[in-house]
């Protein structure tokens, strides 16, 4: 019998979203879709999420950063920022003015400052899960197999990132594009709450390893 893991109210004027777990440990929920650009560092030729001059696919502000006098800073230093940090504790700037950013998933064989250690939102379909999924399921979630479905289209994904306990419904740029959803991190996504998210904790996505939290 399915087990209710959590209820999340995305916004005050919206109904609660329920997260369920089946007997076979499949976790699923339906929600809308915001676009997550984290991990997009231009690794594979696609646009980077964050760049000097705020020229990336996403706003620096959405990544908890701002630019002043040609240097980028974190809004709240030391608060689990998504930025790859340089030796001075500020966001590291890579060739071409790319401001490096992270996903929760990190390749354990690579350094924390290596942009290739993280999953490129622009080219890899992934989903983001709220913290309750990590806390309430037995199997390892980060790196596990996932799937997103919308309007009869599905795309296999990996669970690559974790949101706050109050936020639900996020797809990578590549996942949204595969489902025919506007994939712009700045003005894309959909408010339609009928995107189906499924994941299989403990079952690694192809090409990835499970990362215990």
Question: Mind spelling out the 3-state secondary structure of the chain?
Answer: CCEEEEEECCCCCCCCEEEEECCCCCEEEEEEEEEECCCCCCCCCCCCCCEHHHCCCCCHHHHCEEEECCEEEECCCCCCCCECECCCCCECEEHHHEECECCCCCCCCCCCCCHHHCCCCCCCCEEEEEHHHHHHCCCCCCCEEEEEEECCEEEEEEEEEEECCCCCCEEEHHHHHHCCCCCCCCCCCEEEEEEEEEEEEEEECCCCCCCCC
- Percent of the chain clearing pLDDT 90 (strictly above): 85
- Work out the average pLDDT over 23-33: 95
Domains and CATH numbers, the chain: 3-38+121-204 (2.40.40.10), 52-114 (no CATH)
List, for residues 92-132, the tens digit of each pLDDT value: 999 999 999 999 999 999 999 999 999 999 999 999 999 99
> Whole-prediction pTM value?
0.94
List, for residues 70-98, the tens digit of each pLDDT value: 899 999 887 668 999 999 999 999 999 99
Instruction: State residue 19 phi and psi, 5-degree precision.
Output: -110, 125
CA angle 24, 26, 28 (to 5 degrees): 145
């Amino acid at each position: 019998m399915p087990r209710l893991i959590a209820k999340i109210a995305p916004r005050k004027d919206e109904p609660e979203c329920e997260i369920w777990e089946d007997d076979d440990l499949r976790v699923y929920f339906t929600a809308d879709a915001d676009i997550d650009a984290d991990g997009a560092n231009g690794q594979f030729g696609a646009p980077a999420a964050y760049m000097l001059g705020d020229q990336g696919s996403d706003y620096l502000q959405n990544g908890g950063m701002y630019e002043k006098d040609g240097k980028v800073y974190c809004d709240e230093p030391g608060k689990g920022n998504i930025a790859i940090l340089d030796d001075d504790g500020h966001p590291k700037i890579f060739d071409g003015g790319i401001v490096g950013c992270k996903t929760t998933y990190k390749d354990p064989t690579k350094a924390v400052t290596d942009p290739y250690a993280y999953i490129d939102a622009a080219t890899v379909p992934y989903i983001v899960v709220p913290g309750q999924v990590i806390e309430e399921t037995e199997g390892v979630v980060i790196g596990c197999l996932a799937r997103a479905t919308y309007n009869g289209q599905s795309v296999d994904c990996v669970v690559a990132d974790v949101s706050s306990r109050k936020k639900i419904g996020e797809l990578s740029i590549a996942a949204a594009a595969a489902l025919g959803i506007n994939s712009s991190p700045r003005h894309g996504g959909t408010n339609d709450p009928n995107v189906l998210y499924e994941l299989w904790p403990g079952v690694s996505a192809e090409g990835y390893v499970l990362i215990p939290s």
